[in-house]
A and B are shown apart, each in its own frame.
Chain A
Amino acid sequence: MGEPIRFTLNGELAQTTVAPATRLTVLLRDGFGLTGTKVGCDAGDCGACTVLLDGAPVCACLVAAAQVAGARVVTIEGLAGETRKGADLQAAFLAHGAAQCGICTPGMLVAAAALLETLPRPAAGEIAEALGGVLCRCTGYRKIIAGVEAACDGTVAKTPMPAAGRAVGSRIERLDGEAKINGRESFGADAIPADALYVRAIRAPHHRAGFVLGEIGPWLKSHPGIVRVLTALDVPGRNLFGVIPAFADQPVFATAETRFKGEAIAAVVGEREAVAHLDLAGFPVAWNELPEHLSIDDALSPDAPLLHPSRPGNVLIEGRVSRGDVEKAMAAAPCRVEGTFETGFVEHAYVEPEAGWARRIGNRLEMTVSTQSPYLDRNDTAAILGIAPEDVRIVPSACGGGFGSKLDLSVQPFVALAAWATEKPCAMVYTRPESIAATTKRHPARMRSAIAAGRDGRLLAMDFSGEFNTGAYASWGPTVANRVPVHAAGPYVVPNYRAISRAVLTHCVPAGAFRGFGVPQTVIAQEQLLDMLADRLGIDPLEFRIANALGNDTPTVTGQVLGDGVGIRQCFEALRPHWTEANRAATAHNAANPMRRCGAGVAGMLYGCGNTSLPNPSTIRLGLKADGRLALHQGAVDIGQGSNTVIAQIAADAVGLPLGLVDLVSADTDLTPDCGKTSASRQTFVSGKAAERAGRALRHAMLRLANAGPDAAIEIAAGSILVRDQHLLRAVALASLATDRFGYVLCAEESFDPPTTPLDADGQGSPYAVYGFGAHLAEVEVDMRLGTVKVLSVTAAHDVGRAINPVLVEGQIEGGVAQGIGMALMEEFIPGGGENLHDYLIPTIGDVPPVRSILIECASSVGPFGAKGVGEQALIPTAPAILNAIARASGARMTRTPATPDRVLAAIKARGGSA
């Protein structure tokens, strides 16, 4: 070890004797405990580790420890004290909803603080330039820009807490936001014990391969610091997992044959340094590459080998919905369009790679992990360890973005097995390449569809079939296959309908859940065909959609009549003035600019909240503590979307006490009842409804104590519950009440499971109790000679039933739009390549235009205060609206996404006479 490295860290002198080439991220996080500097890629591609080095923003992952000698380093933890506007930026980010999951927030704040040191009033373009190096996957960047602009104006006041009964509908900042803006939020990799062993997986280098493990013993002996190698033989329970128990088919460690590139066959456990310096090339395994089939066609060919013997034809599952007489209606229809559309694998690209750690406590296992689904993790981990589910405790860390992929197991079985075997805390943090190679993706789809209408513009029939590449294992493939045929018609009345879906197994990384479970793919077909059909009929595309929109009393394709809360017509109608103006602006622009043509496009969406025809209850516990505060046991994991805040708002108003009295007890399988998984846009709706019920039950209990009527007002003051109805004020001293086993003087625990019915053989029934609706208008400019597409603006109207917190709803919409832009224009994962964030591109701050959110509130009688979900809904219509806009601007109809410049230009050249 050479000279110590001395430098100034957040204004204080610091020194270290760490190895000089150590990344500055490692030095800050492990050496100084400053875990606010996040690691997203270790390659300068994401900017999450941005710190100031002598005042200049740099990626700490690219700086050698030796290079900070004599320099000043400022991290998120020192930003408020060491920069002029750091504290104002932090307050403004919180007030404007600029932090969702919070993983990019430190990097964003540091980059923004550097900008405001030199430019007190930056223009929009200068803000974008300064923040262009930090990726955010949640917010769509617009609220970040708003936060920076607000900080320029001075200190932003904290949003005041709403009065009793006023929480629902108020634009309050997120209740768990403070830790997200000061760097103290603890994500999966942030609180790993110093003495933890680290785990690294040995993964298949081929799409499909046989393998033989060599002698582990000698290899282990020659690698000091490595304490254990785990293989399939070391799994005490079942070497199998899967999010849908009936379909579980994925081994923790493959045996004999691997089915996708990146599949684990073993794991190495050892001391941190030893694991970090491991050269895995020498690991004793002999690979035998086998012929693979990566495409749907190859997998379906009659001579294709089966991935799983129990799955004939490599078909995992089929879904089907049928209504009316499609053949007859198609044959008789005067106007018909059809087309084939294809989409690619899409990577979730959350900025936080999978991470967590576990320890064995006696015969129980405790795991802290970044997850969307603590109870699914618990049950599968227990089965792998061969112990009872109650003997596994999952404590979710903060989740730095999930979007569906953190519903599945990633690090969980590895750290669990390692901790169980070694009886030491064991941690695992995926690298970015590992995260991209080994975790689930959005299903690539190939969809053929035909739609027919009458001359009057009424939809008559639709015939859809879609194949979805589900990769090597089931994951959420069955859910996609079931959702697709229910949703493929979109939010329209289609009297004669047939939709068939198939999930096809290939030697690709498993495709699973990704914001929308297959529905974002189907709208790419449906909404483009609707535009083609409207053109054929000579009807304005927006009016065509309005004329065919579902209503409260018209049946969906499954024959369900919702009765209330169907706001799709209102969404489309809200777009009307913007649509008219966008078309006028595009026409004017195009007259003067033949080579950069503008166009506007619209698309609509419906999306069922919660599981498809399956139970998915949530349970909420709400306790009144002896000190008069409320404890909300809220097990709906907040992955950035805001359940910690929204569910508290609902609970507070249901009780009738101020939100400020609510203390959160967040997801922990030992402390919070099961709120199911954070997916399917179900938390606001399902867990929110459970919270509403728990709140009303607690209120009822308080009223009963005071013998008061249902309309009485409740207050907590001077150590008493004060209940005031028309005539009388009654006080119940809190001290006079006994505490229950949870330590509460009053407690309510309530569940809600959405009322659905099973689908029959034709897919008829009520698969969801509530649907969310929405419609987007995209304006684009197409460079006619390069095929590049710039999205100029998006107007998004969403029927959310009731906006419990409009700031958070807008945040979901803006973030969904950004992911829709990515899906439409740039995102595609090619199995086997591009396992990094410079080949796999997601939108930067320069790619997301202003988003105008229009909130429609057609209340659902089922949801809490009328609310429905919006998380997935927000993403679904963006891509087809953009694709329709491209067609209107350029004449190019995009049948393959993403619409990269080469594909758009080819389509422009191929458009022939149809433009």
Chain B
Amino acid sequence: MYARPRTLQEAVAALSQGHALLLAGGTDVYPAHVGQPLPEAIVDLSGVTEMRGIVIERDWIRIGGATTWSEVIAARLPPAFDCLKEAAREVGSLQIQNRGTVAGNLCNASPAADGVPPLLTLDAEVELAGPSGFRRLPLSSFITGYRRTALQPGEILASILVPRPVETQRSAFVKLGARRYLVISIVMVAASVGRDGKGQLTDVRVAVGSASAVAQRLPGLERDLEDLAPGIRPSTQVKPKHISSLTPIDDVRATAAYRKGAALELIGRALDRAAGA
């Protein structure tokens, strides 16, 4: 069975007929099947128009699950989304950005998924469509582990919902890899900060990827930076205790110890950039 539904309803119905593989941009599905055939049953979401594009609603910004990274880059969005756009530009290559989707990146649940740290700083939620209707989950509870999510059989990640940020919130994303393009990160950081009337930092958000099974926010650091005076660079306040929750591993890209040090350094750089320091 290969279904290419036009609506979300049809997609859920097609999926309910049995265990099928969900396909959208193909940038994770096909690489996972090099030299082997795809499963017989596939539901192709690329034709579901209601899953495409970005809509600014009253309280939320809705990113359709099948929206590509190139569409994210091209969209007019508040500056708090700059970190997401910068991450989008670092996803693989232009070819990958033209096909890969936001929902696919989240559902693949790689520790190195470029989209996750920025969306964590945006307090994103995911909307899942299933046979019994929709349900919503914070992104932080959607990704449950190394390549594991809360997606149930029969469900589709239909949209990503971001609470509308204030226009003064600024953000940045930094990715460290061993080459310039087409690279899986060694560590990456998204940071987002606001300023209150006195120029002090407010609403600080920091998320780190590739340094634990699931990317994480750093609430302790965020708290410690709240109300930071205007003249002080946030990077000077980042301490090893702030990343005690990270559990990086040794792999072909770097050692765990290196990742910890690099995370500290990159957190400071991302924060300084977001804060304009």
Contact = CB atoms under 8 A, between A and B. Distances in A.
B121 interface: no
Q: How large is the interface on B (under 10, 10 to 19, 20 to 34, 35 or more residues)?
A: 35 or more
A412 to B, nearest CB: 20
Given A44-B92, A906-B258, A786 B182 contact: no
Contact of B258 (A53, A58, A902): A902
Q: How large is the interface on A (under 10, 10 to 19, 20 to 34, 35 or more residues)?
A: 35 or more
Given A44-B96, A62-B31, A841-B183, 4 more contacts: A42-B35, A47-B95, A786-B176, A902-B254
A69 B266 CA distance: 44
Given A57-B98, A111-B94, A906-B258, A64 B31 contact: no
B26 interface: yes
Contacts of B180: 128, 132, 844-847
Interface of A, secondary structure class, is loop
Nearest to A844: B181
A277 B37 contact: yes
A901 B254 contact: yes
B186 A901 contact: yes
Interface in B79-138: 92-96, 98-99
A-B CB proximity, top 9 nearest: A133-B93, A846-B180, A132-B181, A902-B258, A43-B31, A431-B35, A20-B2, A62-B26, A844-B181
B211 to A, nearest CB: 13
Contacts of B36: 279
Contacts of A906: 258
A63 B99 contact: yes
A47 B93 contact: yes
Given A42-B30, A833-B252, A905-B258, A843 B179 contact: yes
A433 B179 contact: no
Contacts of B182: 45, 47, 132-133, 135, 838, 844
A42 B31 contact: yes
B34 A42 contact: yes
Contacts of B46: 64, 67
Nearest to A55: B98
A741 to B, nearest CB: 47
A901 B44 CA distance: 40
Contacts of B202: none
B101 to A, nearest CB: 12
Interface in B197-228: none
B78 to A, nearest CB: 24
Interface string B23-50: 1011100110011111000101010000
29 contacts: A20-B2, A44-B30, A47-B95, A53-B98, A58-B98, A58-B99, A59-B95, A59-B99, A62-B26, A62-B30, A129-B94, A132-B93, A132-B181, A134-B93, A135-B182, A431-B34, A432-B34, A830-B252, A838-B183, A838-B184, A841-B178, A841-B179, A844-B181, A845-B181, A846-B179, A901-B178, A901-B258, A902-B258, A906-B258
A751 B13 CA distance: 73
Given A62-B25, A830-B252, A433 B4 contact: no
B141 interface: no
Contacts of A433: 34-35
B99 to A, nearest CB: 5
Nearest to A60: B95
Given A2-B2, A67-B46, A431-B34, A62 B27 contact: yes
A164 B190 CA distance: 64
B183 to A, nearest CB: 7
Nearest to B38: A21
Nearest to A24: B26
Contacts of A129: 94
A132 B91 CA distance: 11
Nearest to A822: B179
A785 B99 contact: no
A900 B38 contact: no
A318 interface: no
Contacts of A66: 2, 4, 44
Interface string B173-194: 0001011111110100000000
Interface of B, secondary structure class, is loop
B77 interface: no
Contacts of B179: 826, 841, 843-844, 846-847
B248 to A, nearest CB: 11
A490 to B, nearest CB: 28
A321 interface: no
Contacts of B10: none
B151 interface: no
Given A21-B23, A62-B26, A847-B179, A786 B34 contact: no
A19 interface: yes
B254 A900 contact: yes
B25 A64 contact: no
A204 B24 CA distance: 34
Interface in A873-912: 900-902, 905-906
A825 B177 CA distance: 12
Contacts of B262: 786, 901, 905
A62 B4 CA distance: 16
A223 to B, nearest CB: 14
Nearest to B250: A902
A144 to B, nearest CB: 14
B230 interface: no
Interface in A7-44: 19-21, 23, 41-44
Nearest to A133: B93
Contact of B34 (A41, A830, A847): A41
Contacts of A836: 31, 34
A38 to B, nearest CB: 14
A760 B94 CA distance: 57
Interface string B236-277: 000000000000000011110110011001100000000000
A453 B186 CA distance: 42
B70 interface: yes
A839 B252 contact: yes
B178 A900 contact: yes
A829 B46 CA distance: 36
- Of A44, A434, A828, most buried by chain B (CB within 10 Å of CB) is A44
A67 B252 contact: no
Contacts of B92: 44, 133
Contacts of A42: 30-31, 34-35
Nearest to B4: A66
Nearest to A45: B182
Contacts of B253: 900
Nearest to A280: B36
Contacts of B34: 41-43, 431-433, 836
Interface string A211-223: 0000000000000
Nearest to A904: B258
A900 B35 CA distance: 31
Contacts of A846: 179-181
A858 to B, nearest CB: 36
A554 interface: no
Contacts of A277: 37
Contacts of B265: 785-786
Nearest to A430: B35
Contact of A56 (B4, B38, B70): B70
A61 B98 CA distance: 13
A834 interface: yes
A35 to B, nearest CB: 19
Contact of B176 (A69, A276, A788, A838): A788
A813 interface: no
Contacts of A901: 176, 178, 186, 254, 258, 262
Nearest to A49: B95
Interface string A403-435: 000000000000000000000000000011110
Interface in A64-87: 64, 66-67, 69
- Of A20, A50, A432, most buried by chain B (CB within 10 Å of CB) is A20
A462 to B, nearest CB: 33
B201 to A, nearest CB: 23
